[in-house]
Amino acid sequence: MCSPNCKNRQRWESTLKIFCGIDWAESHHDVALVDDTGEQLAKRRITDDAAGYRLLLDLLAEHGDTEADPIPVAIETSHGLLVAVLRTGHRQVFAINPLAAARYRDRHGVSRKKSDPGDALVLANILRTDMPMHRPLPADSDQSRAVTVLARAQQDAVWNRQQLGNQIRSLLREYYPAALEAFQSKAGGLARPEARAVLAAASTPARAAKLSVAQLRAALKRSGRTRGIDPEAERLRDVFRAEHPRHPDAVEAAFGHQLLALLKQFDAACQAADDLAQVVEAAFREHPDAEIYLSFPGLGVQLAARVLAEIGDDRTRFADARGLKAYAGSAPITRASGKKSHVGRRMVKNDRLMHAGFLWAFSSLRNSPGADAHYRRRRDHGDWHAGAQRNLLNRLLGQLHHCLQNRRPFDEQLAFAVPQRPTSAAAA
């Protein structure tokens, strides 16, 4: 029979709070468990596979991890299969910034020693001492997380397409100005299917000058163009046969081979961006918040999907609209010390959300009279273009937070209502 002291000890141990830290690596992970007194209860190295994940879950279960009361986990990443396994159920997973973890390491010693098991212990102690100061990963729905994956992939594909387009433009400026003259002024520029098809058939000025109207017409048809083919073919013939400075033939041919190599990558990037855009649209329209996002001026399907991807659909993620604005970087930040005080823009933010937000604010100027009036007031107040856009985005994000919390679509009259000044008769 257990003595009273033994029973008291068991009762005391049962009330201890356990914290887990995981030092993530490519092939293995170091795990550390500590209690709320700072005592290390266990440490283990697991492999990055199903057996290792099972060993981790068993280790957590041995120390009291249950469905109703899971052990919180700190790790230096928010992605990957390990994080997906840890997020099953109601467990709180904290993605600790590596820079923050490095600063916490100095609290445990000044010798600047470092080891993977030691880093796991540091992460566990971060939760033990400062868990309220860190934000757990949001409890987004699987549907929202799928939109996040697709929207970010499509955004990366667009950026890759733009980068390759800039490389091709720079190359054409060096040896083929007629191609820039032919396509740069059109919407889409070099990314247009007809531009890529024609450049593939006329990779050098010499080859372009020899193309007939019939050959140009065939290239335009291969690109999928169906209207205005004959006038466009004649226009391209005139542009390509105009007089331009040229490199020697051998040098020009070498540039042509470089262009063809870049065009292959460019075609793949354009196709990937278009394919992902279709998948993003299908996934986004199935989300329950899609109609609310699309009710806002300036938000099309792709841009709205990017905003949803970064905000998610966990309604408890942001306590109020200020939290969302700070996360996006649209809210100003104050730096005050002594007699000096400075209000400026935030440098630490979600860059993807800010990028989408600037496009959103710019597009809203043509679709919302209230947004346009707000932007112009900020410019008249003295803000530069970027500052006025950031201020408009700050207001739009506050309206979006309100609409999502209350399940209401955007209302132009309520969003940008101008308070009426009382007349002299009413004032009297």
pLDDT in tens, 310-344: 999 999 999 899 999 999 998 888 888 888 887 77
CB neighbourhood size of 139 (10 A) = 15
Contacts of 60 (CB under 8 A, 6+ apart): 20, 33, 70, 71
Q: What is the pTM of this model?
A: 0.84
Taking the chain, what is the end-to-end CA distance rounded to the nearest angstrom?
A: 87
Please check whether residue 197 is in contact with residue 222, taking contact to mean a CB–CB distance below 8 angstroms: yes
Pairing between β-strand 40-47 and β-strand 28-35 as defined by DSSP bridges: antiparallel
pLDDT over threshold 70, residue 202 = yes
pLDDT in tens, 336-387: 888 888 777 888 888 999 999 999 999 999 999 999 999 999 999 999 999 9
pLDDT over threshold 50, residue 84 = yes
pLDDT over threshold 70, residue 226 = yes
pLDDT of residue 110: 67
Q: How far is CA 205 from CA 101, 178, 191, 236, 253, in A?
A: 57, 7, 19, 12, 9
d(CA 408, CA 368): 18
pLDDT of residue 106: 77
Instruction: Please state, rounded to an integer, the average pLDDT across all residues of the chain.
Output: 89
Band of residue 70 on the pLDDT scale cut at 50, 70, 90 = very high
**Cα-only R_g, the chain:** 29
Please check whether residue 276 is in contact with residue 154, taking contact to mean a CB–CB distance below 8 angstroms: yes
pLDDT average, residue stretch 177-199: 89
pLDDT of residue 111: 67
| pLDDT: which is higher, 89 or 286 | 286
Please check whether residue 411 is in contact with residue 380, taking contact to mean a CB–CB distance below 8 angstroms: no
pLDDT of residue 292: 96
pLDDT over threshold 60, residue 4 = no
